[in-house]
Amino acid sequence: MAVDIKPISTVSDGISALKSRLSASEWTQDADIIAPHLIEWRDKYFGETPLMVMPKSTKAVSEILKICTHFDLKITPQGGNTGLVGGQTPQGEVLLSLKNMTRIRNLNTVHNSITVEAGATLQSVQEAALARGRKFPLSLASEGTCTIGGNLSTNAGGVHVLKYGTMKDLVFGVEAVLADGRIFNGLSDLRKDNTGYDLNRLFLGAEGTLGIITSACLKLFPNPNHIQRAIIGIESPQAAMNLLEHCHMSDHLALFEVMPRTGMDLVLTHIQDQRDPFTHPYPWYAIIDFETETEAQGLEIAEARLGTALESGIALDVVMAQSETQARTILALRENMSAAQKFNGGSVKLDITVPLSKIPEFFTRADEAVQTVVPKCRPIGFGHFGDGNIHYNIAQPLSKNLETGKAAYLTNWQALSDAVFDIVDALGGSISAEHGIGIMKKTDLAKRADPVKLALMKSLKTALDPNHILNPRILL
């Protein structure tokens, strides 16, 4: 009796199936086209892929996932390739780029909502909202490149969390394609919907492990008529927190960013067209925004809050932006901090959060702890002090040629991370504030997270992606 033997499908069979089902403009194996998508911008992660697919519709994403599930092909989704924890860099998986899905599907000024595809850049969404007199408040240094899908998948924060919250607070719902190709449609802008589990939030911060977000309905806000920006010279992180409390007495405060003089020096030295707004250097700086109805109101609030801060000694000096150009120039000093540190030699980059009241203690303890791991290393902490998020970067010791000792220094990445994360844990903080877990912090999460939380996450992953084809190397 003849026995039917089921042929064993191979990766090449799956690749052939994808190529045959997609249009010619929705896939490529051209090494030159793919190359920029395989390099993380800090040159920490390098990848490889047998095929890059670039679907133009949710239906095409659905077809891709059906085929990948059938042939057991693993997938790495990618937005603008601006991620900082390695989650978007494929290591042999099919690379699914959302670069062709950029449409603004709808903008409703009555509902204050905008529905956009996942590949739309953050800047394009900001501009679409502004053209209709609205504000989409997420703001990141990479906003010209990063995409809405990536922002949602990592629960991006940025500089306005203080007033508007993280990406989880800025979305009504999402459209997402599950591993088996089914399409979940949560694209409603209803402000109240109490019909069971909030399934939309499953995909937020999940880093592409539970489904591929293809579109989102986002919240818009009235565009403030005036933003009064100022930069303030201060003495220390404790002074920064005193200033935050002092300025928080006004509900107009929308931004509170802090950076040290060492960071300012890097920006002034290495980034073109930057200048020091002060004639005298200060140990630390805070940049703040007050959003108001009128310019006169903005000046009045800023002068009242900052004037008394100067009188009390909380602030050492203040420069008020006198124009939109000057306001952009001031914020650029903070936004260029990450880019400037590329010239500072090897740097271990950590993204943590601690309770606001613990920020000064964190700096005291962390700065001391990292010196015990690598003597004379140079910690530079900066970021969103208004919500407790600190970008804590630790540069290698100074030497005549920083490149010479860079590789050896970076072997201390885990030891330095452990030293800092131990302090974060002790202070009741989080080892990841807004960058995500990715590859970089997967081991740290397994070591430090609540076991019940990890078990629930694994159960969700298995339920929605039983074959583990979606970003299989990250998070868990």
Q: What is the DSSP string of 260-305?
A: EHHHHHHHHHHSTT---SSSS--SEEEEEEEEESSHHHHHHHHHHH
For residue 1, is pLDDT > 70?
A: no
Give 6's pLDDT tier (boundaries 50, 70, 90).
very low
Nearest CA-CA partner of 348 in 392, 407, 292: 392
Which domains does the chain carry?
11-97 (3.30.43.10), 104-222 (3.30.465.10), 230-338 (3.30.70.2190), 344-434 (3.30.70.2740)
For residue 84, is pLDDT > 70?
A: yes
Mean pLDDT for 297-317 is 96
Does residue 205 come out as left (phi exceeding 0), alpha (psi in the -120 to 50 range) or beta?
left
pLDDT at residue 91, rounded to an integer: 95
pLDDT at residue 9, rounded to an integer: 65
For residue 240, is pLDDT > 50?
A: yes
> What is the reported pTM?
0.91
Per-residue pLDDT reduced to its tens digit, 260-286 = 999 999 999 999 999 999 999 999 999
Q: What percent of the chain has pLDDT over 70?
A: 98
Mean pLDDT for 454-462 is 97
Q: Using CA atoms, how far apart are residues 476 and 472, in angstroms rounded to an integer?
A: 8
pLDDT at residue 160, rounded to an integer: 93
Q: How far is CA 232 from the centre of its chain?
A: 26
Give 250's pLDDT tier (boundaries 50, 70, 90).
low
Residue 128 burial (C-beta neighbours within 10 Å; 0-12, 13-18, 19+)? middle
Cβ atoms 201, 171 nearer than 8 A: no
Q: Using CA atoms, how far apart are residues 241 and 178, in angstroms rounded to an integer?
A: 44
pLDDT at residue 367, rounded to an integer: 98
Mean pLDDT for 1-17 is 69
Mean pLDDT for 170-198 is 95
Q: What is the DSSP letter of 251?
A: T
Mean pLDDT for 141-159 is 94
Mean pLDDT for 303-316 is 96
Residue with the larger pLDDT of the pair 86 and 51: 51
For residue 123, is pLDDT > 90?
A: yes
Mean pLDDT for 75-87 is 93
Q: What percent of the chain has pLDDT over 90?
A: 92
pLDDT at residue 8, rounded to an integer: 56
For residue 43, is pLDDT > 90?
A: no
Lowest mean pLDDT among 95-99, 172-176, 189-193: 189-193
Q: What is the DSSP letter of 8?
A: P
Mean pLDDT for 154-174 is 95
Average pLDDT, the chain: 94
Lowest mean pLDDT among 11-15, 30-34, 115-119: 11-15
Mean pLDDT for 118-131 is 98
pLDDT at residue 2, rounded to an integer: 46
Cβ atoms 301, 291 nearer than 8 A: no
pLDDT at residue 41, rounded to an integer: 78
Give 3's pLDDT tier (boundaries 50, 70, 90).
very low
